[in-house]
Structure 1
């Protein structure tokens, strides 16, 4: 199975227009006969907004509940992107990290991926669907608790699936490459050539 993993960061999914644009990009890979897995972050600055909201409600939010809250951002992105793809007559289905088989340690807010068991992902790829996966999240197989992977967790999710399927992974961001800092915030940021 020739699998390609695409990962879109929050700024690439910041509004409906950008989501439709990403759907067209994904469809172009699908139309080449590739099996496409797409991992998504929360839209725009949504994760930061959810963190701020949690701390407005509680000065010390319970870590489990914070994970439950934060995973909603990626769920929104995955569902909207799947809708946009289906509107383009590109069959797609969305999965949370747990539905996709992302198994983690039990640590809330900074769990590590222990294993990928993508049974449903494999089934849907075999059914010729694009699979959209909510990044940044998984489930502990013992406690059955939803966990988050911490900042950069969606990139980690994408790389884990690429490794599992021995496929190529492309990470799309709104910066010109790998930089020393966020060039949208720090004008002195340098882009690395290699």
Structure 2
């Protein structure tokens, strides 16, 4: 029932290394506004994960179709553009989750996605692309935490994984969930948002 990494390596992201008080330039105000929200949502995800693994399930729970329909509605209300479902692939799990310390996941995933502003992402590697990425980390992180709480409020168990440096290769899981394909830049490319 629980899934564990088969050894995929990740790069270390040290949350304590970010110092935004000395930032300057045209993008500094946006960055100073977004980064604290990112870290707040990361800390919340870590906290809920630690509570979840204190008493892991020994058997599988299943939910009726109506629950999944309600979950999708809740996700859309939170600004989530894409919702997919897929079994966890252990080969996609990182050996070490340096951000949240997540070591095990349940066997199935709810995969979430939010559209990034093309105009900002098209500027990569310039600051607007980085700011847009941080903004999506913050917004999707908050939505992930709220959906995790929603699932638990309905009597089900869930491990919420923050989109910033989490325990699994998210674009690959999104492909597994049928949400799109991975572009050359490593982002999910999909036709499901716009026509």
State TM-score, norm by structure 1. 0.32
Q: Which structure shows the bigger proportion of residues in strand conformation?
A: 1
TM-score, length basis structure 2: 0.32
Instruction: Considering Cα pairs closer than 8 Å and 6+ residues apart, tell me whether 1 or 2 has the greater RCO.
Output: 2
